[in-house]
């Protein structure tokens, strides 16, 4: 929120103009993209975030540990469980405990369902940005419903679950959950095939998104991209594999990567990841062990520090938690994936030629979330 003052805006060369996209809902959330263009070619892009900065890091310092979970979920309402998982992971490291195996499996199921819900939304917006018929957005919004119903059945809420807590999860799987979940998976797998046939593999869609916003592998690493945006550039990096949590170590899945690094690749990685998520949920449901789901922990965490990482749908989130032995954290530093990905678009006009119409396509293909970046 710092570039609004007129006197600070530098003069532009003849024939160039600065176009402001936003700040009212250019994508989900408030934020602004300033584009310097001559009408067609893009010369410079500046990202202006902070319109929904809530100071979550400061809020956490003033709440007991378990109360921190609720404000944290407000970072990305579509994808709440991985964020709380990250906080809980850091706390469990501080306490030096691990949740019981059954809780780990239940966590895995929620995390992967959340990933599907988030990816469907991202893909719907991506299709819309590529001037595709809004029908795709309606499809993806309707098709995530079975998973929302399942999560409601399990946690009592459709979006903000507050279900993963330090030491385990809040409740066990309800009766009939398994059967309903298998049914939803079967339904969704068929729908994914329809997406691929009718839209992802469609020539028109490829023309619009291939070779648009190419991020080479070395740049993706240098700039610190995260999640599908990083994997689409050929970096095999997924904290589910590289720093496993929940039950991922015991499940069999592979990291989806692509080498071309363009917008199409980023969308494609998301679609393939949803297939992987369905497999993971199936495996977790089949192999879930019996046993307790929660262990109780004292309110005060032992002094120390922990850096926890979790793979959200948008990429890796990192939380650095420092405890001084009290019942509130001394410091929490959150590094969300959107904060890393959103600035990638600033770098792109410097390395390749962009057209104005490509800006939304690239932006939605990166799938940043303003509220996530603002915190």
Report if residue 343 touches other proteins, rule: CB under 8 A. Answer: yes
In the bound state with other proteins, the residue whose beta carbon lies nearer, of 122 and 235, is 235
In the bound state with other proteins, the residue whose beta carbon lies nearer, of 4 and 138, is 4
Report if residue 355 touches other proteins, rule: CB under 8 A. Answer: no
In the bound state with other proteins, the residue whose beta carbon lies nearer, of 25 and 350, is 350
Tally the C-alpha atoms within 13 A of residue 318's C-alpha that lie toward its C-beta.
13
Report if residue 71 touches other proteins, rule: CB under 8 A. Answer: no
Report if residue 95 touches other proteins, rule: CB under 8 A. Answer: no
Collapsing DSSP states into helix, strand and coil, what is residue 260?
A: coil
Report if residue 50 touches other proteins, rule: CB under 8 A. Answer: yes
Q: In the complex, what is the shortest distance from the CB of residue 324 to other proteins, in angstroms, rounded to a whole number?
A: 10
94 touches 316 (CB < 8 A): no
Report if residue 340 touches other proteins, rule: CB under 8 A. Answer: yes
The Cα 311–Cα 332 span in angstroms is 18
∠ CA 89-90-93, nearest 5°, is 85
Q: Count the residues of the shown chain that bind other proteins, applying the rule CB under 8 A.
A: 37
Q: In the complex, what is the shortest distance from the CB of residue 346 to other proteins, in angstroms, rounded to a whole number?
A: 9
The Cα 211–Cα 358 span in angstroms is 10
Contacts of 42 (CB under 8 A, 6+ apart): 35, 36, 349, 354, 355, 356, 358, 359
Report if residue 374 touches other proteins, rule: CB under 8 A. Answer: yes
Of 122-130, 152-160, 317-325, 352-360: span binding other proteins (CB under 8 A) = 317-325
Q: How far is CA 212 from CA 158, 262, 270, 340, 349, in A?
A: 35, 6, 17, 20, 11
Compute how many other C-beta atoms are within 10 angstroms of the C-beta atom of residue 335.
17
Among 182, 275, 307, 356, contact with other proteins (rule: CB under 8 A): 307
Contacts of 32 (CB under 8 A, 6+ apart): 20, 21, 22, 23, 26, 47, 48, 49, 51
Strand partners, 332: 321
Residues 201-230 binding other proteins (CB under 8 A) are 221-224, 226
Q: In the complex, what is the shortest distance from the CB of residue 3 to other proteins, in angstroms, rounded to a whole number?
A: 7
Residues 3-42 binding other proteins (CB under 8 A) are 3-5
Site of interaction with other proteins (CB under 8 A): 1-5, 49-50, 53, 55, 57-58, 62, 93, 221-224, 226, 235, 237, 242-243, 307, 309, 316, 318, 320, 322, 330-331, 333, 335, 339-340, 343, 374-375
């Amino acid at each position: 929120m710092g570039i609004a003052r007129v006197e600070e805006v530098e003069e532009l060369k003849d024939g160039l103009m600065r176009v402001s996209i936003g700040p009212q809902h250019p994508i989900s959330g408030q934020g602004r993209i300033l584009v310097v263009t001559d009408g067609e070619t893009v010369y410079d892009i500046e990202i202006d975030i902070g319109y929904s900065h809530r100071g979550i890091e400061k809020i956490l310092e003033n709440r007991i540990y378990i109360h921190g979970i609720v404000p944290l979920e407000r970072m990305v309402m579509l994808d709440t469980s991985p964020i709380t998982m990250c906080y809980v992971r850091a706390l469990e490291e501080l306490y030096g405990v691990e949740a019981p195996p059954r809780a780990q499996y239940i966590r895995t199921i929620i995390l992967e369902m959340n990933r599907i819900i988030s990816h469907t939304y991202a893909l719907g917006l991506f299709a819309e940005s590529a001037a595709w018929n809004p029908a795709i957005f309606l499809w993806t919004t309707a098709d995530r419903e079975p998973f929302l119903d399942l999560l409601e059945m399990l946690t009592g809420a459709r979006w903000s679950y507050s279900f993963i807590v330090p030491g385990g999860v809040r409740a066990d799987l309800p009766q009939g959950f398994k059967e309903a979940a298998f049914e939803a998976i079967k339904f969704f797998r068929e729908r994914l095939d329809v997406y691929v046939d009718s839209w992802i593999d469609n020539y028109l869609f490829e023309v619009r998104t291939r070779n648009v916003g190419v991020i080479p592998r070395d740049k993706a690493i240098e700039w610190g991209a995260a999640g599908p945006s990083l994997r689409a550039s050929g970096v095999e990096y997924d904290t589910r594999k590289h720093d496993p949590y929940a039950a991922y170590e015991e499940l069999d899945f592979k990291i989806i990567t692509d080498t071309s690094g363009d917008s199409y690749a980023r969308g494609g990685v998301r679609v393939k990841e949803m297939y992987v998520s369905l497999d993971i949920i199936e495996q977790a449901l089949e192999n879930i062990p019996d046993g307790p789901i929660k262990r109780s922990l004292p309110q005060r965490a032992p002094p120390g520090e922990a850096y926890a990482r979790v793979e959200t749908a948008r990429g890796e989130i990192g939380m650095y938690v420092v405890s001084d032995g009290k019942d509130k954290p001394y410091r929490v530093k959150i590094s969300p994936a959107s904060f890393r990905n959103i600035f990638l678009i600033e770098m792109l006009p410097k390395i390749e030629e962009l057209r104005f119409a490509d800006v939304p396509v690239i932006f939605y293909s990166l799938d940043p979330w303003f509220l996530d970046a603002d915190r």
